[in-house]
């Protein structure tokens, strides 16, 4: 189902004309009302009137997360505080959080893009959506909530945690769509299996999963074990929250709602703009945000953009699933490693769970990478010879995937920490002092 056919299926010419008009408006608004942008534009020698075509966006300076932190709490707002009706912050754990402020118009836009996203998962007025994203300052819960209300479906605002209660509600309220992180979806599957609850007895048809990176292999696991269609959602607190992009039923990339968010891909080292199809860092500009317009925000997320109409009928530009972040890639003995590569390698082994933790140490002069992997109860109680074979198989699979030999440590079932939010995959024990 297409929620807004007019805006999601417009021609290339219509879209570009709309994007340019909105880009010109938001650049002027930012320059006139946000001291940070006024200063930066003057510093770069660029004037809002210089934006005559979409390519001219490259004349504008980038905005980083540090810029937003430096403006804490309300230095990036473009409207009087009286016009701000809602405030959220990022879930970052270091330094000051980034603050995101919304006017009533912004909330309406957020509801609109989330309605589009949920519609891609098949949501209608008849659906019951169990929202397991966190509420409060985190944008996930309320973003889904607003979109569900816009669609007219029933929302269960259960938030994150209390897994037993989640399952009970899922059964009793006949949940049809679940929204949570991919790692939590797998944990739900694990608990259901442990308690002998068949997914055939549930009404689940789709999962809208995001807030962390996940692989195609993990999607296959989730779909098989929860008996639903697992779809990827993308968003950032700094831009609006969830609802920047969403995967449709085709599952060949995420549609960016580019009438509201203008995407670019840059080389994270040279900062040069890359053509469509080339992988680099995603940069986003809000085109309609009123309370807090953001110009050329460096997301640090690595992906590629693709033009052309989708089989589903939408014409929005698509982005590949996020494969890593420019700031979370690990450089081990000169080799770039992303945690998602480890996950991909594990899931290529039949029966292996994607429950793992990467531990980085530097015992002497070279970095060492160790992967802790949970085993099944059957394997852990098996004879030593078989366990060793599995260990060697995992080490080979990881080596084939990343080109490095790593030590694999098989640990007891349920011994690694579970998360109801984003999973902690990397533990860096290196001492750089």
Coil, strand or helix at 299: strand
pLDDT the model gives residue 382: 62
Is the pLDDT at 384 greater than 70? The verdict is no
Does residue 433 lie in a domain region? no
Taking residues 242-247, report their average pLDDT. 98
Is the pLDDT at 164 greater than 90? The verdict is yes
**235 and 366 inside one domain:** no
Least confident of 22-36, 51-65, 148-162, 408-422: 408-422
Q: Which of 327, 358, 388 is the last residue of a domain?
A: 327
Q: How many domains does the chain have?
A: 2
**83 and 224 inside one domain:** yes
Q: Which of 304, 327, 350 is the last residue of a domain?
A: 327
Is the pLDDT at 93 greater than 70? The verdict is no
User: Residue 104 maps to which CATH number?
Assistant: 3.40.50.12780
Does residue 267 lie in a domain region? yes
Does residue 285 lie in a domain region? yes
ω into residue 18 within 30 of 0, thus cis?
A: no
**366 and 392 inside one domain:** yes
pLDDT the model gives residue 223: 98
Sheet strands (E) in 295-386: 297-303, 305-306, 318-319, 324-325, 330-332, 335-337, 356-361, 368-374
Q: Which of 269, 296, 327 is the last residue of a domain?
A: 327
Any idea what DSSP says for residue 32? H
**371 and 225 inside one domain:** no
Torsion sign over Cα 166, 173, 122, 155:
negative
**357 and 240 inside one domain:** no
| pLDDT (tens digit per residue) in 264-313 | 999 999 999 999 999 999 999 999 999 999 999 999 999 999 998 899 99
Does residue 88 lie in a domain region? yes
Does residue 128 lie in a domain region? yes
pLDDT the model gives residue 13: 97
| pLDDT (tens digit per residue) in 312-368 | 999 999 999 998 777 666 767 667 787 878 888 888 887 677 788 999 887 766 678
| Cβ–Cβ < 8 Å for 128, 176 | yes
Q: Please list, in sequence order, all residues whose beta carbon lies within 8 angstroms of the beta carbon of residue 121, skipping any fewer than 6 positions away.
A: 177, 206, 207, 208, 229, 231, 246
**Mean pLDDT rounded to a whole number for the chain:** 91
C-alpha distance from residue 105 to each of 88, 134, 167 (Å): 16, 23, 36
User: Residue 86, Cβ neighbours under 10 Å: how many?
Assistant: 16
Taking residues 175-182, report their average pLDDT. 96
pLDDT the model gives residue 433: 47
Q: Which domain holds residue 376?
A: 330-428
**171 and 316 inside one domain:** yes
**322 and 351 inside one domain:** no
**320 and 400 inside one domain:** no
Taking residues 385-395, report their average pLDDT. 84
| pLDDT (tens digit per residue) in 61-91 | 999 999 999 999 999 999 999 999 999 998 6
Sheet strands (E) in 248-334: 254-256, 261-266, 280-286, 297-303, 305-306, 318-319, 324-325, 330-332
- Give the predicted TM-score (pTM) of the model: 0.83
């Amino acid at each position: 189902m297409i929620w807004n056919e007019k805006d999601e299926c417009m021609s290339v010419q219509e879209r570009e004309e709309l994007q340019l008009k909105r880009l010109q408006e938001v650049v002027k608004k930012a320059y006139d009302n946000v001291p940070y942008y006024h200063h930066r534009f003057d510093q770069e020698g660029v004037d809002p009137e210089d934006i005559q075509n979409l390519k001219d966006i490259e004349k504008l300076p980038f905005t980083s997360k540090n810029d937003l932190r430096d403006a804490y709490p309300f230095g990036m707002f473009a409207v009087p505080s009286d016009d701000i009706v809602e405030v959220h912050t990022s879930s970052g754990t270091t330094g000051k959080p980034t603050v995101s402020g919304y006017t009533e118009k912004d909330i309406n836009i957020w509801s609109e893009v989330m309605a589009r996203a949920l519609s891609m998962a098949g949501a209608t007025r008849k659906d019951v959506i169990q929202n397991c994203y966190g509420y409060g300052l985190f944008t996930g819960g309320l973003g889904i909530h607003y979109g569900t209300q816009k669609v007219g479906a029933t929302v269960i605002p259960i938030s994150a945690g209390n897994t037993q209660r989640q399952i009970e509600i899922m059964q009793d309220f006949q949940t049809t769509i679940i929204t949570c992180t991919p790692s939590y979806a797998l944990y739900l599957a694990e608990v259901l299996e442990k308690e002998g609850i068949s997914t055939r007895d549930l009404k689940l048809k789709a999962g809208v999963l995001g807030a962390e990176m996940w692989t195609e292999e993990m999607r296959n696991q989730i779909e098989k074990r929860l008996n639903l269609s697992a779809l990827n959602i993308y968003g950032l607190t700094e831009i609006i929250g969830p609802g920047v992009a969403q995967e449709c039923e085709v599952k060949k990339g995420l549609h960016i709602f580019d009438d509201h968010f203008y995407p670019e891909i840059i080389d994270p080292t040279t900062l040069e703009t890359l053509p469509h199809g080339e992988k680099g860092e995603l940069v986003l500009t809000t085109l309609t945000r009123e309370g807090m317009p953001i110009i050329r925000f460096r997301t640090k997320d690595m992906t590629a953009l693709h033009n052309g109409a989708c089989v589903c009928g939408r014409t929005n530009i698509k982005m590949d699933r996020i494969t890593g972040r420019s700031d979370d890639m690990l450089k081990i003995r000169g080799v770039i490693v992303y945690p998602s590569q480890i996950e991909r390698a594990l899931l290529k082994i039949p029966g292996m769970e994607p429950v793992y933790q990467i531990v980085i140490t530097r015992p002497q002069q070279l970095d060492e990478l160790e992967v802790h992997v949970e085993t099944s109860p059957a394997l852990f109680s098996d004879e030593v010879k078989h366990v060793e074979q599995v260990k060697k198989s995992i080490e080979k699979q990881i080596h084939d995937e990343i080109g490095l030999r790593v030590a694999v440590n098989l640990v007891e079932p349920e011994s690694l920490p579970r998360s109801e939010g984003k999973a902690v995959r990397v533990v860096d024990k290196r001492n750089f002092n």
